[in-house]
Amino acid sequence: RLTHVLLTHAHDDHVTAVPELLAAHPEAQVALHPADRVLWDRSHPDFAPTLDLADGDVVQVGDVELFVLHTPGHAPGACCFHARDLGVVFTGDTLFQGGPGATGRSYSDFPTIVASIKDKLLSLPPETVVLTGHGRATTIGDEKPDVEEWIRRGH
């Protein structure tokens, strides 16, 4: 049973299928951080998300708690979802294997994404599996040296 559509951010490649999901599951809540409404409205001006995400929120999925981490940079309302008990974090486009997500899109900012990763993700246990919005899985421990290098370079 689909109860929530949790969005890491509102770039079109991540939200295009939402109307189709809602058509099949009209009871589902669409959850998005309000800072990403500017992006959401570009793709879906006719309806709004039904649930605002905020840093520190906990979303229950079956017997798993997902902790919301607001990680702006790739998008102003970008969020990651940390399943502590599973040792997994869903990072959307905030962190990929090899470093931070892209910041060449509208409303994105490289220093902000690096700060988000440093402040919110690098503090997770190093063995935490990172499931990204695109590409291969990695771990916080594997990505930490690359991100720390970005920080040292002042990016």
Put residue 98 in one of left, alpha, beta given phi > 0 → left and psi -120 to 50 → alpha. Answer: left
Band of pLDDT at residue 73, cut at 50, 70 and 90: very high
pLDDT tens sequence across 94-130: 999 998 998 988 899 999 999 999 999 999 999 999 9
**Cα→Cα distances 2→47, 62, 70, Å:** 19, 11, 23
Put residue 99 in one of left, alpha, beta given phi > 0 → left and psi -120 to 50 → alpha. Answer: left
Count CB atoms within 10 A of the CB of residue 3: 12
CA atoms within 13 A on the CB side of 151: 14
CA distance 114 to 12: 22
CA distance 97 to 50: 32
pTM: 0.95
The contacts found for 11-15 with CB under 8 angstroms, 24 or more apart, are 11/39, 11/74, 11/75, 11/93, 11/105, 12/42, 12/43, 14/92, 14/93, 14/133, 15/40, 15/43, 15/44
CA distance 52 to 31: 6
pLDDT beyond 90 at 153: no
pLDDT tens sequence across 49-71: 999 999 999 999 999 999 999 99
